[in-house]
Chain A
């Protein structure tokens, strides 16, 4: 799945559905692990995995080497977090890393865009005195900053996917845009069943596959 498809899918269909669809496009029910073996997927996507990405290549999966790390809560239900501790197989087919990271950025950007829509609606409903919050100048400025951030990310993700190093930066930029919006949601963005939970899951996804800038493949 290319970044723009993932973005559109996530904006309307949400995190779990898009991640499931992204995983379904990989051949052989593969377990797509990040450079340290971490992986976050919907539970059904973990079943019957026969092959795994370790490091840069694809290898046969040793089921006993799949360690459960816990769950990542989202409003659509939990995702499973695992870590593959198997030894990398002999060099095989290269893992489609850059494509995965670009699609992941698309997915996260789509979630961020949905968050912007939700934030504008929320601020339109809330008031200070008689004025909707969305008409306060500071709020307008903050929304303008967030949407500018998102558009810049979107432009960079359109067409040829950027190199992996730039993708690491884009993922950070998405986190920045999300945090700008979360502040505008007030405490309603801090509850476990609210939009802040999606942002937390989105940050965890980025961290599993690309966290730690200097670790980018």
Chain B
């Protein structure tokens, strides 16, 4: 069994306190994604807004329980993500900060790009987006159609469309993946400002996780200066697919932890709201609690592996698929402890059920994760000794 050290234990305890506050705004954010603008002083939101800004750019970071946390390891991210998502997964995704783009910037950006990106984030609460998925190409990112072409005057132009992009409509900066040459390896990520000409983003209303404000982005000849091409100092292979794989491996345990947080929240909800359970029901619910604990261990192990070997994300895939399914099953099971109409009369439970459905698609669907896990199995990378 993995146990947290003092530092991560402190992170967990603090984040658990913050999560209580998030519950009070969860339904409001679900109705109106703009609620996040009124929550910028919430400690969880403040923490998320400076996560993934490395120490050299923010040496005087606020201490939490005597420690500093910058979110640079997957292990740290999963501990915070579970707790914050147990408060409100919507707010976890609605918050300003480097978020998904931050991992890529850390991996690929040169000094000047980092200064530019972190500078923006430190100056004011800044929302970022991360645009890979396209209307016709979700899981099959290699078939991406968005193009990055020379403009003939030393700069570049982006043309294409992206879809289901978290925070797309409220972000100031973000990363767009585009094709700069033919073939499956011909992909590049560029930093883009949403105020640039030709950039248009519109929210897509969703069933759950509404705080994430998924958006459709249209890129109609958006100018991109050469200096905004991430990894321009690296070889084309290293800045393309190689970085994508590493980045997704690092992110995946955190997405798994969001699903875990939703499952935990539903479990806590039943315990808090449904005081007197029969013995059989209590035993059944305790068993579900142990399943949640098991998946948490799997996620922690996956995070530790990714931190030690970023190229090995196979266990992270297994954990993500397992956690997304757990969130759906536990939220539906929670309903069985209440009478008919619980989804209508207990809006928080209803929200958890809707939110749980969304994690399946974030950072790769269940099938894609299973294919990754299988690769890990046949390549002997699953740590089965």
Residues of A within 8 A of B (CB): 34-38, 40, 69-70, 81, 83, 126-129, 136, 138-139, 142, 175, 179, 182-183, 186-187, 190-193, 196-197, 200, 203-204, 207-215
Contact = CB atoms under 8 A, between A and B. Distances in A.
Interface string B349-383: 00001100110110001110011000000000000
B52 interface: no
Contacts of B150: none
B205 interface: yes
Given A35-B340, A186-B139, A207-B343, 6 more contacts: A36-B339, A69-B341, A127-B140, A138-B370, A187-B361, A211-B341
Contact of B367 (A34, A138, A207): A138
B345 interface: yes
13 contacts: A36-B341, A38-B340, A128-B139, A138-B367, A139-B367, A186-B361, A203-B353, A207-B340, A207-B344, A208-B341, A211-B341, A212-B338, A214-B281
Contacts of B133: 187
Given A207-B343, A211-B342, A213-B336, A191 B370 contact: no
A129 B142 CA distance: 8
A203 B343 contact: yes
Interface stretch (B12-20, B123-131, B206-214): B206-214
Contact of A192 (B205, B335, B365): B205
Interface string B281-309: 10000000000000000000000000000
Contacts of A192: 204-207
B340 A210 contact: yes
A126 B136 CA distance: 7
A215 B339 contact: yes
Contact of A200 (B140, B207, B360): B207
Nearest to A179: B328
A81 B335 CA distance: 18
Given A212-B335, A212-B338, A128 B204 contact: no
A159 to B, nearest CB: 26
Contact of A183 (B332, B338, B366): B366
B340 A190 contact: no
B340 A208 contact: yes
Contact of B206 (A136, A191, A204, A212): A191
Nearest to A38: B341
B365 A186 contact: yes
Contacts of A35: 339-340
Contacts of A175: 332
A211 B335 contact: yes
Contacts of B332: 175
Given A175-B332, A211-B335, A187 B343 contact: no
A193 B206 CA distance: 8
B138 interface: yes
Given A139-B367, A212-B338, A190 B343 contact: no
Nearest to B349: A207
Contact of B357 (A83, A129, A190): A190
B214 A187 contact: yes
B248 interface: no
Contacts of A139: 367
Contacts of B328: 179
A82 to B, nearest CB: 9
B339 A83 contact: no
A193 B143 CA distance: 26
A207 B342 contact: yes
Interface in B141-189: 142-143, 163-164
Contacts of B206: 190-192
Contacts of A40: 344
B48 to A, nearest CB: 22
Nearest to B328: A179
B269 interface: no
